[in-house]
C-alpha cells in the first residue's frame, strides 16, 4: 500500500470469512426463525417462478385464440387468467412479507450483537467523550446495520430468483422438446 492511497476493497478469503462470521450472527442455528423465513422465501420464489411460467403459457394461448378468432377459447383462457390473479397476488405478497420479516430479523440480531460489543469496556463512553471524530455513533451504527441487512436479503433474493428461473426454464424446455 502506497502512502496517501486507500486500500481497495476486494472479494477475497478475508472478505468471505468476515461475511460468514456476520451471517452466523444473523442466522445462529439451523432451526430458528430466520431459517424459517429463508425457507418461506425460497418456496415463494419457486411458486412465483411456476406462476411466471403459467402466465407465459396462458398468455400464449390467449394470443393463439385471438389469432385463430376463437371466441370460446379466448373467453375460457381470459377467465383462467383473471381467476389466477388473486393467487398470484397472494404469492407476491407472501414473498414480500418474507423478505421484509427476514430484513427485520437480521437487523434485530445484528443490532443486539453490535450494541453488546459497543457497550462493553466503556466503548460508548470513550467514543462519546474522548473521541469527537464521530458524531452520533449509535445512530450511524443503526443506519449502517439497516442498510447492510437490507442489502444481504436483497442479494439473496436477487441471486436466487434468476438462478431458479434458469433451472426451471431449462427443465421445462427439455421436457417439452427433449434433451438433445
CA distance 7 to 128: 28
What DSSP string describes 56-105?
HHHHHHHHHHHHTT-HHHHHHHHHHHHHHHHHHHHHHHHHHHHHHHHHHH
According to the model, what pLDDT value does residue 24 have? 92
Q: What is the pTM of this model?
A: 0.79
**Domain ranges for the chain:** 13-177
Whether residue 49 contacts residue 164, with contact meaning beta carbons closer than 8 Å, is answered with yes
Cβ(102)–Cβ(41) below 8 Å: yes
Q: What is the DSSP letter of 8?
A: P
Predicted confidence (pLDDT) per residue in 42-95, tens digit: 999 999 989 988 999 999 999 999 999 999 999 999 999 999 999 999 999 999
C-alpha cell at 76: 375460457
> What sign results for the dihedral spanned by CA atoms 116, 104, 16, 41?
positive
Q: What is the pLDDT, as a whole number, of residue 164?
A: 87
What pLDDT, on the 0 to 100 scale, is given for residue 131? 66
CA distances from 149 to 82, 100, 140 (A): 36, 10, 14
pLDDT of residue 12: 83
Question: Can you tell me the distance from the alpha carbon of 129 to that of 135, in angstroms, rounded to the nearest whole number?
Answer: 11
| pLDDT averaged over every residue in the chain | 87
pLDDT of residue 150: 95
pLDDT tens digits, the chain, 180 residues: what are they?
555 567 777 778 988 898 899 999 999 888 999 999 999 999 999 999 899 889 999 999 999 999 999 999 999 999 999 999 999 999 999 999 999 999 999 999 999 998 888 777 777 767 766 667 777 777 888 899 999 999 999 999 999 989 988 888 888 788 888 766
Task: Say which DSSP state 121 is in.
Answer: G
Amino acid at each position: 500500500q502506497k502512502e496517501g492511497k486507500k486500500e481497495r476493497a476486494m472479494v477475497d478469503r478475508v472478505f468471505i470469512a468476515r461475511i460468514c462470521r456476520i451471517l452466523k450472527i444473523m442466522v445462529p442455528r439451523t432451526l430458528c426463525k430466520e431459517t424459517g423465513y429463508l425457507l418461506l422465501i425460497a418456496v415463494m420464489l419457486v411458486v412465483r417462478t411456476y406462476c411466471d411460467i403459467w402466465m407465459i403459457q396462458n398468455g400464449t394461448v390467449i394470443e393463439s385464440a385471438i389469432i385463430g378468432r376463437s371466441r370460446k377459447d379466448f373467453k375460457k383462457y381470459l377467465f383462467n387468467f383473471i381467476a389466477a390473479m388473486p393467487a398470484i397476488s397472494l404469492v407476491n405478497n407472501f414473498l414480500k412479507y418474507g423478505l421484509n420479516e427476514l430484513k427485520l430479523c437480521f437487523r434485530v440480531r445484528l443490532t443486539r450483537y453490535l450494541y453488546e460489543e459497543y457497550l462493553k469496556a466503556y466503548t460508548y463512553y470513550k467514543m462519546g467523550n474522548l473521541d469527537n471524530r464521530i458524531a452520533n455513533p449509535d445512530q450511524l451504527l443503526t443506519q449502517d446495520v439497516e442498510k447492510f441487512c437490507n442489502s444481504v436479503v436483497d442479494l439473496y433474493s436477487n441471486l436466487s430468483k434468476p438462478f431458479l428461473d434458469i433451472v426451471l426454464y431449462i427443465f421445462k424446455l427439455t421436457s417439452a422438446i427433449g434433451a438433445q
